Amino acid sequence: MALTENDVTRLARLARLELAGDAHARVLKDLNGIFGLIERLQAVDTQGVEPLTHPISAIEDVALRLRDDAVTEPATPASREALLANAPAVQDGLFLVPKVIE
């Protein structure tokens, strides 16, 4: 799947990126290169290959170090206000985000 100039323009607008000068052509080339690599990876037959939990687990046993899922900071109204202070839009103590699905 090759992208076009219009696709890059639309992606830049959606990502709120300003592409000036030759950046537009460079991004188009880079994205098409990435999609080319993805197509090559999808062409590989992986039937019967077990998924790995870690890249090294194919050659040695790996024990993942997991931490306890525990709250480490107290939830107070002051900490909530501090977290929401930098948000561009807040309503009823929640972040407001623009609609992204048309």
Q: In this predicted structure, what is the pLDDT of residue 54?
A: 74
Average pLDDT, the chain: 87
Contacts of 46 (CB under 8 A, 6+ apart): none
Give the residues across from 90 on adjacent strands. Answer: 95
* 58 has pLDDT over 80: no
**pTM value?**
0.50
* 38 has pLDDT over 90: yes
Q: What is the mean pLDDT of residues 51-67?
A: 77
Q: In this predicted structure, what is the pLDDT of residue 63?
A: 76
What is the rounded distance in angstroms from the CA atom of residue 12 to the CA atom of residue 18?
A: 7
Six-digit token pair at 101? 């699905």
Reported as a pLDDT band with limits 50, 70 and 90, residue 80 is: confident
